[in-house]
Amino acid sequence: MKTFKNPILPGFYPDPSICRVEEDYYLVTSSFTNYPGVPIFHSKDLVNWKQIGHVLDRPSQLPLDGQRQSQGIFAPTIRYHDGVFYMITTNVGHGGNFFVTATDPAGPWSDPYYLNAPGIDPSLFFDDDGKVYYHGTRPAPEGEKYSGNWEVWLQELDLETNQLIGEPVGLWRGALRDVIWPEGPHIYKVDGMYYLLISEAGTGHHHACSIARSEQIKGPYVGNPGNPILTHRHLGKEYPIVNVGHSDLVQTQNGEWWAVALASRIYGGYYRNLGRETYLLPVTWEDGWPIFSPGSGKLEMEYKIPNLPQGEIVVEDVCDHFDDKELNMKWNLLRTPKEESYSLTEREGFVSLYLRPEAITKLEHPSILLRKQQHIQFTTSTSMEFCPEINHEEAGIVLLQSNEFHYRFVVTKADNEAMITLIKCENGQESILQQAPVQSDKIYLKIVAFGQDLSFYYGESQANYQLLSDQIDGRILSTDVAGGFVGAQIGLYASSNGEKSDNKAYFDWFEYSSI
């Protein structure tokens, strides 16, 4: 029996949504304040996924100015109807709920159509009669009697005007009485019945998926007596997969049903550095209700593969040599760029980062290239050429959870001497953990992570690494310490920290791999 291993998208790929077009599958996830936004993936077999672009790849689509790392783009939904792809989502800090369209999922996608819709987590349903319905989550109309007293609601969408029409209707508030945060709704029509799949109880340890059904699109919806249909909250905080929820269903061309969902892997205690990742699980139907992960009811790390022809197996390069004219799609910037912060053409085979005044400690667009941490044990390294000219300048590698929680492993200048410096930023407070002088403008930097233990190495050659500091605690890079919704990312970074500078840092290559 051939099997696959979860997660299908490791690392910070939360809130997955999926759709099928004939024999092709497309998936999107949240991106928060990463730019470009909403990565989109393609697969033939639901297991092997290849990124084909970003839905939001222009400043006109993605204003993120001043937003915190856990703001920005929440919970996208992707749907396909009559030759057109639709992606609908929320920009929580600018404009609210909107959708964009494309005829090619790789892009280009349209500029946003903003909707006068309160709340977050929008989705679309295309009914058999040609009507289209927006559904999302919003505060309950009687007011928030308690934090998270919200409801799932629905309103018709006119695709001629791209505006909501008719009266909004409250649909459901979740399976439990006084449940918090009923969210992430998706409506499906199966055998003439409307099914409303939601998440509830927040996106932390008590996260769960529940489902209700109705004979009419506007309800009344009756909950499944077996709710919740997916959760790990009853398994305790030592179970290795936690906060399971936020799911979307898809039926294959061969009649099988599958679901994508988010979950987190913990390590070093109840700490989630990897953020919320994307998982795949089988679904069957009994007595008119879906059964998630039949036989166990848990999200498993391994399942039998779907009954589909094997798709392309994507093997990511361990090393990026920056030889292409454009960045690999795994790289992201932070917030919307207003000016150039890097170049791939200034020096052939290098990426140049400009030392600009913007810094990662502020809610700005700094000179940074980010990729996601995807493994519990990993090593990452780079070759950098950089000579700090003034004391404020720095360049190197960062391990980033947010502007207030991160490590910077950088070359700086102190007392007219270049220094390799390890800086810890915890709750916005910076401290220098270790420093050592460096003699060459060319330096190799390496970070090794064994679980939550981080070690930092530097050297003038790859054959001569020296340990700067070890047994550094990685837990500040978890959401359980830092708060918010994002996972840890690894970046190349340069800044003049508020001062004007024409200096640059040149990176020859960047490596990342599991251990």
Element of type H or E holding 480: helix 479-482
Element of type H or E holding 482: helix 479-482
First and final CA of the chain: distance in angstroms? 28
3-state SS string for 30-66? CCECEECEEEEEEECCCCCCEEEEEEECCCCCCCCCC
DSSP assignment string, 204-244: STT-EEEEEEESSTT---EE-TT--SEE-GGG-TTSSEEEE
Q: CA-to-CA distance for 380 and 512, rounded, in angstroms? A: 4
Alpha carbon of residue 271 to chain centroid: 17
Q: CA-to-CA distance for 228 and 207, rounded, in angstroms? A: 10
Among candidate residues 121, 151, 183, 404, the one labeled active-site is: 183
Q: CA-to-CA distance for 99 and 387, rounded, in angstroms? A: 45
Residue 218, Cβ neighbours under 10 Å: how many?
A: 16
302 is annotated as an active-site residue: no
Which residues 6+ apart lie within 8 Å of 84 measured at CB?
101, 102, 103
15 is annotated as an active-site residue: yes
Q: Peptide bond preceding 337: is omega within 30 degrees of 0, i.e. cis?
A: no
Burial classification of residue 439, based on how many CB atoms lie within 10 Å of its CB (0-12 exposed, 13-18 middle, 19 or more buried): exposed
Alpha carbon of residue 393 to chain centroid: 30
The SS3 call for residue 175 is coil
Residue whose token pair is 């199966």: 190
Residues labelled catalytic: 15, 183
